[in-house]
Chain A
């Protein structure tokens, strides 16, 4: 069954015709090249050699001034990191080479040097110390301590880390960042790739102030192009107008925490542009909607770091540390949860056009809730009356049927809010979100609808189904949002 929901018509995406072989080049061609011609070129002889060319192809440079490059160990938007041997001191170090870009080299290198030298003055066990900063052929490179355990993002891909461990890591990082802030230095680019774990699993921050090298004042495109993903960037950095302060680093810490808790950064668009747009215009989804194991307090801490307005974030990295440590000790946290209503109205302010449909949706939910509450849709089978001694209710996930992905947040938020309101009613048992989460995907819903009729006959065969779901699904077609 090959179905037509597949995108776009063919011709719309033909960029052009290859001038050499005449085949069509589609928009997904590698770096815009004609794939056919690339393969044909590739098929040519390997040994073909012009005497004058010399025999050595361009390969990984192994000799780099005082350093011998041993192995590539990492790579990012800003350059390549090698394990290297420093000849003069005969020690193994990490060497980061920042490739020559199209920016104004002189000025940037000078500024980068200043930043890097300032960062090099930081002396903290969890900040990767820089030994030496040098230039070569318009490239800038510096050597630093080699941390063997690898980048945080690689490490979490290999192994799932617990929520507690994630919080401990961020608390340590936040303490480290606080130390730098006290010394007047901002990091500006906190992301999982800049956190290295050592053999003991301790987190070390690297690339302090490096973002400066690739920033061009006031230019989002430039900045994001050079920095790679804007997924961890604070909104004020992305729009390039506001002055970047310590609050941007607190945002970065929150974004990394978010990633560790949910498996994804707070904003993910299909393109850099879309990610920036989501970052500027939408609120992140609550971490606990993505990972039900995250509790409300931790969700609150994380979202406080990710506030759009820098002034609404934690006042200092230390304040964040303290709240995280309170959470670790199971004490009440200081951060206050932004109520769904507040968040909703902030969101509506940004999107006034759909306020009307949201209002009608809310009305629909109110009706629904009352109906369910009165037991019209929800009847317990008499034979099980003893077992189901309490009234229970399940709120099924809402589905975002509009084109705007950003509305999904609202759909989840509504379910979340209804659940939390209902849970305050003592005599009502509220079926947990985890048990209803699976009704989110379309296919499940279809299965569920089919199974419904069968279940009428067989329901409550086993008492275990009690804990899973109410005997009859609560509502008909799921409400939708938007158009």
Chain B
């Protein structure tokens, strides 16, 4: 689906390519820059779910939350004040949350008549509603900030798994992927069983899994790289996500 095409990764060379990540394109842009705009839009489209969850947690109805989220994106794309982020070499995740809080505070002060952005909404209602169904988290025990962080972490994983699955699908190995991916979180959905099912040697299954895990790790880092300004932040973010999900 279009929503998940948000981040494009150049994956051939094994190394995480920092020079062209979406967020760095946005940060590096001087003045008007169509490519920066496009990059920011892609990022917003990929990461709307945490933002929307934050707004909902403030007590807004789905419709209001949609309007506010769209309004926020419109504002963001219209006039971005990125200077501060540039100076701090900030991360997209923190930047969006801070801006959103700011935006909501202003919206409340103006007794909220947020105009819908002109033209098509960035995230179609359809997708919001599909996702709304998945508001199945321990919501009443979580603060809005925690919902945001949690959803952000899960969104990262979703993007990566989706991408990985598509690669296998295209290579004609979709069915094998469905089996192998279980091994990413579980040590033993019996290699022997997979080997039997696919008429492979057990050793070949093992190798195939190693390849999959390598690819997964690379894509995960690339995905995170899209949202940070400096390479050293990637591992940091990874650990941050672990702590978010641990508590």
Contacts and interface: CB of A to CB of B under 8 A. Distances in A.
Given A36-B242, A53-B211, A441 B64 contact: yes
Interface in B21-62: 56-59, 61
Interface string B91-129: 000000000000000000001110000111110111001
Contacts of A18: 185
A6 B56 contact: yes
Given A31-B161, A263-B124, A447-B111, A2 B154 contact: no
B157 interface: yes
Contacts of B245: 23, 35-36, 39
A154 B2 CA distance: 8
A49 B14 CA distance: 13
A99 interface: yes
A114 to B, nearest CB: 22
Interface residues of A, number: 81
Contacts of A24: 138
B207 A3 contact: no
B11 A59 contact: yes
Contacts of A38: 157, 161, 184-185
B38 to A, nearest CB: 9
Contacts of B81: none
Contacts of A263: 120-121, 124
Residue of A45, A159, A263 ringed by the most chain B CB atoms within 10 A: A263
Contacts of B213: 41, 44
Contact of B166 (A13, A46, A75, A443): A75
Nearest to A444: B113
A156 B157 CA distance: 29
Contacts of B174: 99-101
A21 to B, nearest CB: 9
A269 interface: yes
A33 B184 contact: yes
A264 B128 CA distance: 12
B87 to A, nearest CB: 29
Contacts of B168: 58
B171 A58 contact: yes
Contact of A26 (B121, B138, B175, B241): B138
B154 A35 contact: yes
Interface stretch (B71-79, B191-199, B217-225): B217-225
Contacts of B1: 76, 228
Interface in A212-265: 228-229, 231, 263-265
Nearest to A50: B210
Contacts of A201: none
A202 interface: no
Nearest to B223: A42
A97 B199 CA distance: 25
A137 interface: yes
Interface in A73-110: 75-76, 79-80, 97, 99-102
A341 interface: no
Interface of B: 1-2, 5, 11-12, 14, 56-59, 61, 63-64, 67, 111-113, 118-122, 124-126, 129-130, 132-141, 143-144, 153-154, 157-158, 160-161, 166-175, 181, 184-187, 207, 210-218, 220-221, 235, 238-239, 241-242, 245-246
8 contacts: A7-B139, A23-B246, A31-B158, A33-B157, A46-B218, A50-B210, A58-B173, A264-B125
Interface of A: 1-10, 13-14, 18-20, 23-24, 26-31, 33-46, 48-50, 52-53, 57-61, 75-76, 79-80, 97, 99-102, 136-139, 153-154, 156-157, 159-160, 228-229, 231, 263-265, 268-271, 441-444, 447
- 9 tightest Cβ-Cβ pairs between the two chains A and B: A3-B59, A10-B138, A27-B136, A37-B185, A160-B119, A137-B172, A99-B169, A13-B136, A270-B133
